[in-house]
Chains A and B, each alone.
Chain A
Amino acid sequence: MNELADIALADIGLDGLAISGILIAVALVLSVVRRLGLEKDLLVAAARALVQLLIVGFALRIVVDGDDPLIFTWIWVVLMVVVAAWTVRRRAPEVPNVIPLALLSFAAAAAVTLGVLFGLRVFEPTGRAIVPIAGMMVGNSMTATVVVSRRLVAEVRDYRDLIEARLALGLSSHDAFAPHLREALRTGLVPQIETTKTVGLIALPGAMTGLILAGVEPIEAVRVQVAVMYLVLGSVSTTAAVMALGLTRRLFTKDHRLVLVEKAASQP
């Protein structure tokens, strides 16, 4: 453990940070040699990552400081959720009124996952634990929300004839859309399940890597990582389900008619 602590890279210093920038140069060389035209994007991305994370780092000092009340922590979490909901709208512009549904999905996922992890004291409810865990919950849920909502709208556009044929046979909107809802949920959940299956075999996950780099005993890091993976599975499932069910209600009227997606977008 002492050896690990000795080589821990928690403080790499400014010189270490500058040296790691050499790796950006590798990508730049590739872009120039292969005429990819990505040099500007690479430089902007590298600079943005540095500036954004520095700002976040300074802000987090306030949020995770044990002496401050958790109110700043929860404000941070709410901000993450709001930004994620806006991001969902940007990534899924064809989905009608997606922001309220995304907010509802994230709120449900937060209640379930943070409730279990902090309510049952898997982690101590401190700013230092809540912020990163909520971040992982929101980040992964956001991806699933985008995938599921876009897939649902695509199912309606691609299979409108079949869905209406089922409705015309006297099926309820719930039954007529069930196969498509299943497909959309599978599309959202399967990648996360596959990632969970192969974790550790192909690449070490982020939280575990960070903890090991910071000098934590690997087995302890594994315990945290497994809890995080379960958190991600739980939050992705919850957000996908809430988004799918909420959006399905928007796509049908109470008297079992399929509305045009464009019309659904204009409804409050």
Chain B
Amino acid sequence: MSGFELSGIVVEGDGRRRLDGVALEIGDSGITVLAGASGSGKSTLLRLLNRLDVPDEGTVSWQGTPLDDVDVLLHRREVGMVFQTPAVAPGTVLDNLRIGAIDLDEETGADLCNLMSLDADLLTREASTLSGGEKQRVCLARTIATGPELILADEPTSSLDPEATEVIETLAKRFTSPESPMQLGWIWVSHDSGQIERLADRVIRLDAGRVVEES
């Protein structure tokens, strides 16, 4: 199958099962939203997909190959990840864009800024001086600079104001649309029902570490 396949996933932690026997297939196109209350296991599941964590039991496969058998550094370039809190590195925006793409030139950097609805003049700005929404778009841009097929987004707008949230959502939908040359897939963690309605092509709902609904 294309995308992720999870079978019998168990993750233990903090004296409980954070994921308890999860079995799922998630395609590599469109926007799949992982929904659920805080502590339901959404972020834990997402981290497994980027191999930032490994399950205590079960197998995660990407494009039919178990992650145990893939080159993890290559996998993380195919499946990028943006986090809840935008963590920018010291240095300029361009320095940040080059973290995962060392040879990225200024012209490509400017193109990425335009793609993210950011002013290209920001390339030479210290990334730490940007607003929260701008930082998150820089984080998204540096992920896209590595050429991923799919992006894992761990509540990327939860720390942003409504205006910045709308910009990120618009970008996500634009990159996923059939007209976009990127044709990016998204697996997006959210507990915001409005956002789920606005974004989701498919919703997987978790509760207490189990999948309770797919729609």
The answer to whether B89 touches A164, judged by C-beta atoms less than 8 angstroms apart, is: no
Measured between alpha carbons, how far is A117 from B64 in the docked complex, in Å? 60
**Which of A162, A168, A172 interacts with B50 by CB under 8 Å?**
A168
On whether the beta carbons of B50 and A256 are closer than 8 Å, the reply is no
B82-104 contacts to A (CB < 8 Å): 83, 85, 87-90, 99-100
Alpha-carbon distance between A172 and B77 when the two chains are bound, in angstroms: 12
Give the most central of A164, A166, A168, A258: most B CB within 10 Å. A168
Q: List 19 A-B contacts (CB under 8 A).
A: A159-B87, A161-B83, A162-B87, A164-B52, A165-B139, A166-B89, A167-B76, A168-B83, A168-B143, A169-B142, A170-B146, A171-B73, A171-B99, A172-B73, A179-B89, A256-B72, A256-B73, A257-B52, A257-B54
A166-B100, A168-B76, A170-B76 given. 8 additional CB < 8 A pairs? A161-B85, A164-B83, A164-B87, A167-B52, A169-B76, A169-B77, A170-B146, A258-B52
Say whether A11 faces chain B, with CB atoms less than 8 Å apart.
no
List residues of chain B with CB within 8 A of the CB of A256: 51, 72-73
> Nearest Cβ in chain B — how far from A179, in angstroms?
7
Tell me whether B87 and A165 are in contact (CB under 8 A). yes
User: In the complex, what distance in Å separates the CA atom of A170 from the CA atom of B146?
Assistant: 8
Number of residues from B at the complex interface, CB < 8 A: 24
The 10 closest A-B pairs by CB, nearest first: A169-B100, A161-B87, A168-B81, A170-B77, A162-B87, A170-B76, A165-B87, A255-B72, A170-B73, A168-B50
Taking CB atoms and an 8 Å cut-off, the chain A residues in 138-193 that contact chain B are 159, 161-162, 164-172, 179
Complex Cα distance, B81 from A86, in Å, reads 41
The reply to whether the CB of B119 lies closer than 8 angstroms to some CB of chain A is no
Tell me whether A169 and B80 are in contact in the complex, defined as CB-CB below 8 angstroms, given that A161-B85, A162-B87, A164-B52 are known contacts.
yes
Q: A169, B85: Cβ atoms under 8 Å?
A: no
Residues of chain A with a CB closer than 8 A to B89's CB:
162, 165-166, 179
- When chains A and B are docked, how far (Å) is the Cα of A148 from the Cα of B82? 30
A contact residues, total (Cβ < 8 Å): 17
Closest residue on chain B to residue A255 by CB atoms? B72
Is A169 a contact partner of B83 (Cβ separation < 8 A)?
Answer: no
CA of A223 to CA of B109, assembled, Å? 56
Q: Return chain A residues, CB-CB under 8 Å to B76.
A: 167-170
Q: Mark interface residues in A253-267 (1 if CB within 8 Å of B CB, else 0).
A: 001111000000000
- Chain B residues with a Cβ under 8 A of chain A: 50-54, 72-74, 76-77, 80-81, 83, 85, 87-90, 99-100, 139, 142-143, 146
**CB proximity to B under 8 Å, residues A218-268:** 255-258
Query: B52 — which chain A residues lie within 8 A by C-beta?
Result: 164, 167-168, 257-258
User: Do the beta carbons of A166 and B99 come within 8 Å of each other?
Assistant: yes
Residues of the A chain whose Cβ atoms lie less than 8 Å from the Cβ of B139: 165
Whole-angstrom CA separation of A256 from B85 in the bound complex? 21
| A258 to B87 Cα, complex, angstroms | 16
Q: CB-CB < 8 A to B146: which residues of A?
A: 169-170
Q: Which residue of A lies closest to B78 (CB)?
A: A170
Q: Which residues of A contact B143 (CB under 8 A)?
A: 168-169
How distant is the Cα of A169 from the Cα of B89 in the complex, in angstroms? 13
B54 A168 Cβ-Cβ under 8 A:
no
Which A residues are in CB contact (< 8 Å) with B90? 179
Shortest distance between the CB of B147 and any CB in chain A (Å): 10
Shortest CB distance B201–A (Å): 23
State the Cβ distance, A153 to closest chain B Cβ, in Å.
19
Residue of A nearest to B85 (CB): A161
B51 touching A255, Cβ below 8 Å: yes
B99 touches A169 (CB 8 A): yes
- B73 A168 Cβ-Cβ under 8 A: no
Q: How far is the CB of B102 from chain A (nearest CB, A)?
A: 10
Q: How far is the CB of A76 from chain B (nearest CB, A)?
A: 46
Of all chain B residues, the one with the shortest Cβ separation from A169 is: B100
**Chain A residues, Cβ within 8 Å of B74:** 170
B73 and chain A: residue at smallest CB distance = A170
Q: How far is the CB of A31 from chain B (nearest CB, A)?
A: 45
Q: Whole-angstrom distance from the CB of A23 to the nearest CB of chain B?
A: 48
Distance between B108 CB and nearest chain A CB, rounded to angstroms: 16
Complex Cα gap A168–B88 (Å): 13
Nearest chain B CB to A50's CB is how many angstroms away?
50
CB distance from A162 to the nearest CB of B (A): 4
Q: Chain A residues near B100 (CB, 8 Å)?
A: 166, 169-171
Q: CA of A257 to CA of B55 in the docked complex: distance in angstroms? A: 13
Which residues on B sit within 8 Å (CB–CB) of A170? 73-74, 76-77, 100, 146
